[in-house]
Amino acid sequence: MGVEAHKDLLGSIGVDVERHAKMMGMGLEAYKNQFMSQENRPKGMEYFDWFMSEIQGQRIAEINQLRAEKKPAVGTFCIFVPEEIVTGAGGACYGLCGGSPATIPDAETELPRNICPLIKSAHGFKLQRTCAYTQSSDFIYGETTCEAKKKSWEILAKHHPVHVMNIPHMKREKDLRMWKEEIVEFKEHIEEVTGKKLSLEEMKEGTRIVNEKRKALLRLDALRGMNPDVMPISGKDGLFVVQMGFLDDPVRYTEKVNELCDELEQRVRDGVSVFPKDTPRLMVLGTPFAPPNWKLHNAVENTGGAVINEESCIGHRYFKDNVNLDGVNDEDTLMERLMERYAEIDCACFTPNTPRIDKIVQMYKDRKADGVIYYTLSFCHTYNVEAHLVTEALEKEGIPCLVIESDYSPEDAGQIKTRVEAFLESLTFKKKATAFKNK
């Protein structure tokens, strides 16, 4: 199976089949070495290993089957796109490839060098035609969150249909009114693709499906981080499961995440931890980790630490809030509730963004974590600048923090590992000193 079995389909949607197969081969090899070699993995990870092997194969066939049935396929780069509406229309809404350094040189033929690697990587995937998700999408839904993204859509639109959603940068009454209108417009775009009007019931059903997915992820998040004595799954596996939530069929995915959580609950009851007692437990904050960006998690977990959650869009920021469907009996109320839910997202593109800072401190306390790593992609101005206020708040609370800025190149992996190692050593020392003092 895998991409080989779907070669004809991949060619028919414009994928550069040879280059794509080579990239997938390398990606699978990296996955095998970095993930499948871990000891004592939960059995529930077998599904996600299978999904990885079919990530650009069977899943692409499923999406193209939906398109053949006139269902929408929408590619995105941001968690502001209301996937509930696409799901309600029976279609697929998914994140596009944007985590690999391999496509960046191609992107730099059209984009400046000094912008965020996520944007360049995604743009390069389109130029190379090596992301089957991009090739399968009716259109890409962009947003106006950061300057680099906002402008790069105009260039991406030369190669693929792109619609842009105007996301406000403040959350005043008038901003929220405009935001609701954008969601209505998004729904109308989806209706254009399907050629039929979406009913309230369909959209509510789509919302229920996505709510269930987020609930399952919240359950996983709690199992990863809330018990200081037992960590039943590695941070790498936890991250990978969340990453796949942006690609998989939401109903099947939710079922598999819940099955995994059942197993993890049993592990917690039995005291089965994948890390030795007293392993420093870290929270990771900041920009999203698009696959295969596993650099930081590898650095932490290969040097004696554990990542217990990601305060990131591929992480807690994505699943922390759900859409309240209570008493929703008309479309206008549903649009209002969707807007309310999306306005809870605390992306650094907003000013001010104080709820994010309060949330981080609270998350740290709830999880009894030992430290945090503030991670930003190079040239991501919003998260880089916001780091000042976040680290200031952490310092006030006496929370140890390491700031790391990185891109996708392998060159700084050694330096990151050394810095993480030193940070972990200081945390271990602090832990021992506290235990001694409390004796």
Q: How far is the CB of 216 from ligand SF4 (least distance, A)?
A: 20
Are 160 and 134 within 8 A, CB to CB?
Answer: yes
DSSP class of 411 = G
Q: How far is the CB of 310 from ligand SF4 (least distance, A)?
A: 12
In this structure, what are the phi and psi dihedrals at residue 424, rounded to the nearest 5 degrees?
A: -65, -40
Question: In terms of C-beta density within 10 A (0-12 exposed, 13-18 middle, 19 or more buried), how is residue 37 classed?
Answer: exposed
Q: How far is the CB of 81 from ligand SF4 (least distance, A)?
A: 9
Q: Are strands 281-286 and 371-377 parallel, antiparallel or unpaired?
A: parallel
CA–CA dist 350, 398 (Å, integer)? 26
- What contacts 142, CB < 8 A, 6 or more positions away? 77, 78, 149, 150, 153, 156, 162, 163, 164, 165
Q: How far is the CB of 435 from ligand SF4 (least distance, A)?
A: 37
Nearer to ligand SF4, 91 or 98 (CB): 98
Nearer to ligand SF4, 360 or 377 (CB): 377
Nearer to ligand SF4, 137 or 382 (CB): 382
DSSP result, 57-98: THHHHHHHHHHHTT--EEEESSTTS-HHHHHHTT-EEEEPP-
CA–CA dist 324, 265 (Å, integer)? 27
Are 341 and 322 within 8 A, CB to CB?
Answer: yes
CA–CA dist 264, 259 (Å, integer)? 9
Nearer to ligand SF4, 78 or 93 (CB): 78
Nearer to ligand SF4, 143 or 248 (CB): 143
- The alpha helices in 98-146, defined as continuous H runs, are 104-107, 117-128, 132-136
Nearer to ligand SF4, 116 or 373 (CB): 116
Nearer to ligand SF4, 99 or 225 (CB): 99
Q: Which residue has the tokens 């939710």?
A: 254
Q: Which two tokens stand for residue 313?
A: 């869009």
- HEC-encoded secondary structure of 136-205: HCCEEEEECCCHHHHHHHHHHCCCCCEEEECCCCCCCHHHHHHHHHHHHHHHHHHHHHHCCCCCHHHHHH
Q: How far is the CB of 111 from ligand SF4 (least distance, A)?
A: 12
Nearer to ligand SF4, 1 or 170 (CB): 170
In this structure, what are the phi and psi dihedrals at residue 317, rounded to the nearest 5 degrees?
A: -60, -30
Q: How far is the CB of 35 from ligand SF4 (least distance, A)?
A: 23
Q: How far is the CB of 107 from ligand SF4 (least distance, A)?
A: 13
Q: How far is the CB of 118 from ligand SF4 (least distance, A)?
A: 4
Nearer to ligand SF4, 202 or 321 (CB): 321
Q: How far is the CB of 317 from ligand SF4 (least distance, A)?
A: 6
Q: How far is the CB of 77 from ligand SF4 (least distance, A)?
A: 7
Nearer to ligand SF4, 17 or 380 (CB): 380
Instruction: Give the CA angle between residues 122, 127, 131 to the nearest 5°.
Output: 55
- The alpha helices in 271-353, defined as continuous H runs, are 295-301, 316-319, 331-342
Which residues in this chain contact ligand SF4 in the complex, by CB under 6 A?
78-80, 116, 118-119, 145-146, 148-149, 287-288, 313, 345, 347, 349, 377, 380, 382-383
Nearer to ligand SF4, 151 or 417 (CB): 151
Q: Which residue has the tokens 């499906």?
A: 209
Q: What is the largest CA-CA distance in the chain?
A: 70
**Collapsed DSSP state (helix, strand, coil) of residue 43:** coil
Q: How far is the CB of 351 from ligand SF4 (least distance, A)?
A: 13
